[in-house]
Structures are given as C-alpha cells and as structure tokens.
Structure 1
C-alpha cells in the first residue's frame, strides 16, 4: 500500500439461516462507521427477503449466491465484491452474534499499523462453548503447527479476522481450496505460506443460547481431514522455504524465537 489513505476497510458477513440475528449486529457496526457487505449463501425466500430489507440501510450492501455453496465460498464472494468496490481490507465476522463487535477497532488498529498482515482473533471462551468444539480445536491447532512448522498461528479457526484483500484474493483465485467450513483454517495456513505476518489478538467469544450451527459433523469433519492431508503434503513441498524463513527470523535481532 502506498499510503494510509489507501487503507479502506469494510466488514464482510456470510449469512445462512442467521438473518434474524443481523439487525442488532448491523446497528453496532453502523456506529463504527464501517461499510458492510452481506452475502446471502442460498437462503430461503423468507431469509432472502429479510436480507434485502436490511440492505436498504445506508452503507449496507448485499451479494447473493444460489444455491448454498458454503461459508468459505460466501466469504470469498464478499471479498471479491469488496475489492471491486475499492476496499483494501475486510473484517470477517460471523452472523450469529458470537463475536464482540466492540473489538473491531482493536483488530483494525493492528491491521492499519501493519497493512500487509492477517489479523486474527484468539477466542476467549466462556461457559457457553460446546466442549466437543473446544477439544476439536486443539487437534486442528496441532496440525496447523505441523503444516507451518511454526507456532505463529495461535488459532486457525476463529471467524473474526481482518484480511488484506489483494493478497487474500491472489491466493483464493489461484488455489483449489476449501469453500465450506474448512476454509478458515486453510486460508490462514496458505497466507502464512505466502509470507504474510499473522497478528493474533485475544477476543471474547460467546455462543448464543438460541444459536443455529451450520456445521455438519460428518461431512465437514471429512472435509477438514482432507484439508489437513493436502496441507501436510503442501508443507513437505515448502519445507525448505519454511525452515529457511524460520532460521532467518531467529538470526534477526529482536525477533521472537517462539515463532
């Protein structure tokens, strides 16, 4: 980026069966003065009508894809639209209200200070988190550390992030990668492989009592297993570069050796 004036962030929200949660979420995003792109991922007629109504708000835009193609595909569609509108960065946040909107300025401040970095939340859970999801995250954390030969990515599954759009779309457009629940982890690993710094910021995450999960245990877990298989083989091909990068960072003064 040539100057701070080129830093133009927006918010991208993939939506499937969560339109009824959006009004208060959009109220709070609107108070931050941020444009917002909603992506209707094949919702039914009632959901689509509600999203079209929400898109009449100032600074709220709607993209639609039919039939349902998955969370990752919806996020990527939002990124493409945002980039075409001249935005440089996109805040990804889930539609169900589990993420803390008040932390968006913190993530954006870190992104603005280092525009070429991926800024990602590290979930700080309360008692509402389902235990099986919590345990499953540790399995994915282990494989991500293997796939990157690094502990830099402290959480690869959080859906609350700030993406630099140019680099992210360069990866998306030239890589066959996950388009459903496997995408959150795969994109952060591939951005790390591309050489992007990863900045992690703790943020509270709460699962709403009346929340709807779109995670399909059998199908999505199979997709995630296949994703990790692909990434492990990808790591083997890139291991000389990854090891060389790690050694180079260790030699630089002031760089943490924990990475």
Structure 2
C-alpha cells in the first residue's frame, strides 16, 4: 500500500470555506460514502477559538450552499459534534476514480485540509496526484510504502495505539509543554543538556513546580505505555516458546 498525506485546498468543500471565514477547525470522527446518492455522511468534532467563534462557524456551515444536511448532536463550550452530509467533491471523486481510499481522519483548519489516503500501487498514486492538480491545490507532506506486515501490525494493535493517544490527550497544556521542552532541550540525555532549573526558567515557575508538572506528564504517558506491554508480550511469546522447545527425536 502507498500511503500519502496531503495538505489539500479544495474549492468545492464547505468545511474549508467555513474555516476561511470563521475561527473553527474540523476533525472527522466517522465518515461513510453513499455511492448510490454520491453523498458523504460525516460525524465531525468542531472546535472554535471561543464560544462565539463556534456559533459563527456552525451557522456558516449550516447555511452553506453545498451542505445537503446538518444536525447538531452535542455542544459543550467551544466544541461541538455534528452530523453532516455533503456531495462528492472533485478531489473525492478523483481519489475514488483511481481506486484510492481514506486511511485516516480529515483535519480541516485555516482554509486547508489534511488528507490521509492510500493506494494499492505507486502507479495509482501517481495518476491520482496528477489528476488532482487540475482543480485542486495541494502539497504532499509524506509518501510511504507500507508492507502488508506493517499494515497488519497497525490493525492488530489499534487498541494499544489508541491508549497511547488517549494518554497524550490526558496531558494538560502545561504538562504537555513541559514534557516537550524537556525532551527537546535534552533533559533525558546523559549528560543532561537541560535541568529542572532551565525548565523552571522557561515557564517562569519554581523548580518544584517544574518537577511536579514533569512528573505528572511522565506518569500519564508511561502508564499508557506500560498498559500496551501485554499485547507485545503475547505477540513475542510464540517465537520465544519455539526457540526454547526441545526438538523431537
């Protein structure tokens, strides 16, 4: 499989249009394409810069001429979950015409959309990218060949991967920034290139405060990593058992 990540600008996508006029972003949670009606049904997480921005964005989207259906499922503060229906865009049709398929969620903000798509062959990917240039602007952010074994490995460990993502989402902004600064600054290297003092100075807190933020971040992330260990142990066990078995005589 050829995996392609693109930063895409479509000129017939209502979600992209809305992010041009409202301070909101979209992250797809589920999508389903109805081939008979040529409609894309999506459930999307909408995030606004604030409560007013979210209201403005939802109104703009609901009134967009290319929206075929809109339903507000839930809303809390500056986030909402919606169910929506749009017609097939040119880029969607081009991808499907070349046997392409979606491999990850759409992320839409600031007038562009991050696409994760897959193709069975490099030729399919090349042809699709060439045709996309006719009516769309895009930049290929990444292109990788994924073997069947790699793809199977991802599928078999989706729960573990989700657990790691959930652990990252549990971090507060302060914990996330502190952990990122510690890693980037060399706190975990030997010898250390950063210390608690440098972390404290970076965030204008005491050394004790920096230590607490770092420990809380480490605890949340490491707890999720350790929770993934059983899946890896089960995967390795047949090989270890085979290596330790007594050959038949």
Which of these two proteins has the greater Rg computed from alpha carbons? Answer: 2
Greater fraction strand:
2
Relative to the length of structure 1, the TM-score reads 0.31
TM norm structure 2? 0.32
